[in-house]
Amino acid sequence: DQQVKQNSPSLSVQEGRISILNCDYTNSMFDYFLWYKKYPAEGPTFLISISSIKDKNEDGRFTVFLNKSAKHLSLHIVPSQPGDSAVYFCAANLIIQGAQKLVFGQGTRLTINP
C-alpha cells in the first residue's frame, strides 16, 4: 500500500526552464510534506517542506505547492540548473502513537540538459 506516490520515474528539462515534480498521497492524516534531493553516492538531503495547513512555500528557486483536496503536491524549480540533476524524493510526515514517521515516495530522477 503505497501511501506516497511519485508516478514519474524520470523527468528531463532544459536548463533555464521550469522543472515540475509531482507527488500524490492517500492519507489525509499527514501533517507535513518534505522534498529530499539525492545525488549519486550520497545520502538524501532535505530541500524544502510545507505544513498541511499551507498551500505554498517558497525558498529561492524552489517552491512547493500543496493541494489538499486533490491530495497532491508539486515541487517547482525555476530556473532549472545543471546542478539540480538528481533524484528527488517526496516524503510525508505522520504522527503515530506520538512517534513521528516519514513515508517516502519512489523518487523521480531529474535531468537538466544544457
Contacting residue, 12, 14, 26, 100, with other proteins by CB under 8 A: 100
**Residue 22 in contact with other proteins, rule: CB under 8 A:** no
CA distance 8 to 12: 11
Nearer to other proteins, 70 or 99 (CB): 99
Q: Segment 60-99, which members bind other proteins (CB under 8 A)?
A: 89, 91, 93, 99
3-state helix, strand, coil in the chain (%, to 5): 5, 60, 40
Beta strands in 15-97 (DSSP E): 19-25, 32-38, 45-51, 56-59, 62-67, 72-77, 86-96
The secondary structure element, H or E, covering residue 11 is strand 10-14
6 lies in the site for other proteins, by CB under 8 A: yes
Nearer to other proteins, 44 or 112 (CB): 44
- Chain residues binding other proteins by CB under 8 A are 4, 6, 9, 32-34, 36, 41-46, 49, 51, 89, 91, 93, 99-102, 104-107
